[in-house]
């Protein structure tokens, strides 16, 4: 596993069981410009996940999360969790809304923490063990799923209200990755079945996409953010009530899908209604999303980076 610290020359990575020098219990911080190791953090157990933020490093192990300062690598906190064999952990990368989320000590519950206002929220997310947690860039929304992989739930991180319940399918599978588009209108998830499903978080997808498209060239960054917030507020008025009305809000199936051969993938949204899928086999896919009509996506580019 390897992560970049935003768009900088600083990388973090953990090794593998087969690597005798860099094993899974060691986090390496690497300076790509200097081509050297800056520092190492070694543990008595395997690292299952980690995240880099401009001020902190979060390291996820089986039953604990270790938090260090990025600048000095000083340990500042240890959080106990339930058994978290999938390394479920989510973080927002917008520093002005410094939120992270993790499985609590109670199975199926997620703890949301806000570093800026010390606000903690406990969410009754699922009944089974949490397998994946993902936050939007700004930290306003959180998506989570269990090891069953059939249902993905989206919550408002400010109050813990359930906003959407999305159905991936009926058969058990492990969800490998979840991503949101930059406007929090679309969400995608890849699974071990080799499929990537795409859902609309918006009630009026075409209308909201048109608003963003028509105003993108005219709005300043501040104005665009305000426009996005208006869209989010509009679609969340009724959805926040799902916690009260329960089954009245049925789970929603994806409106678009694409199937590839690889079982281990990560994904992110690109420009012009596309989604980028990268597999551990070294294959890169660029896929066109049929926003207007839905259905099967078209693979418009495919490259193999491993020779």
Per residue in 89-113, pLDDT (tens digit) is 999 988 778 899 999 999 999 999 9
Going by pLDDT thresholds of 50, 70 and 90, the confidence category of residue 225 is low
Dist CA 255 CA 145 (whole Å) = 19
At 210 the pLDDT is: 52
pLDDT higher than 50, residue 249 = no
Reference 102, options 149, 167, 48, 54; nearest CA is 48
Distance of CA 156 to the CA centre of its chain: 14
Task: For residue range 144-177, list pLDDT tens digits in order.
Answer: 999 999 999 999 999 999 999 999 988 899 999 9
pLDDT the model gives residue 222: 53
Q: How many residues does the chain have?
A: 307
Which secondary-structure segment (H or E) carries 207? helix 205-215
> What is the CATH class of 81-304?
mainly beta
1-80: CATH class: mainly beta
- Cα→Cα distances 21→4, 50, 64, 94, Å: 21, 19, 24, 34
Ranges of each domain in the chain? 1-80, 81-304
């Amino acid at each position: 596993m390897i992560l970049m610290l935003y768009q900088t020359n600083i990388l973090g990575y953990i090794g593998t069981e087969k690597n005798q020098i860099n094993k899974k219990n060691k986090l390496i911080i690497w300076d790509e410009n200097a081509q050297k190791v800056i520092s190492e953090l070694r543990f008595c157990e395997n690292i299952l996940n980690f995240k880099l933020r401009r001020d902190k490093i979060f390291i996820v192990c089986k039953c604990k999360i270790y938090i260090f300062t990025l600048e000095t690598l000083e340990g500042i906190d240890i959080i106990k969790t339930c058994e978290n064999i999938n390394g479920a952990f989510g973080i927002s990368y917008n520093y002005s809304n410094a939120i992270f989320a993790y499985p609590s000590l109670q199975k199926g519950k997620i703890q949301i923490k806000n570093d800026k206002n010390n606000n903690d929220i406990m969410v009754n997310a699922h009944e089974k063990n949490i397998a994946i947690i993902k936050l939007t860039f700004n930290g306003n929304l959180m998506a989570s799923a269990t090891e069953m992989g059939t249902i993905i739930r989206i919550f408002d991180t400010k109050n813990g209200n359930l906003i959407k319940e999305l159905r991936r399918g009926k058969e058990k599978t492990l969800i490998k990755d979840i991503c949101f588009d930059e406007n929090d209108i679309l969400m995608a998830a890849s699974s071990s079945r080799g499929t990537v499903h795409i859902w609309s978080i918006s009630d009026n997808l075409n209308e909201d996409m048109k608003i963003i498209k028509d105003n993108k060239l005219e709005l300043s960054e501040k104005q665009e953010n305000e426009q996005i917030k208006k869209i989010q507020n509009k679609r969340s008025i009724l959805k926040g009530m799902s916690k009260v009305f329960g089954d009245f809000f049925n789970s929603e199936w994806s409106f678009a899908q694409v199937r590839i051969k690889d079982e281990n993938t990560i994904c992110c949204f690109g420009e012009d209604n596309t989604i980028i899928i990268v597999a551990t086999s070294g294959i890169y896919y660029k896929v066109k999303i049929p926003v207007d009509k839905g259905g099967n996506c078209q693979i418009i580019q495919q490259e193999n980076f491993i020779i």
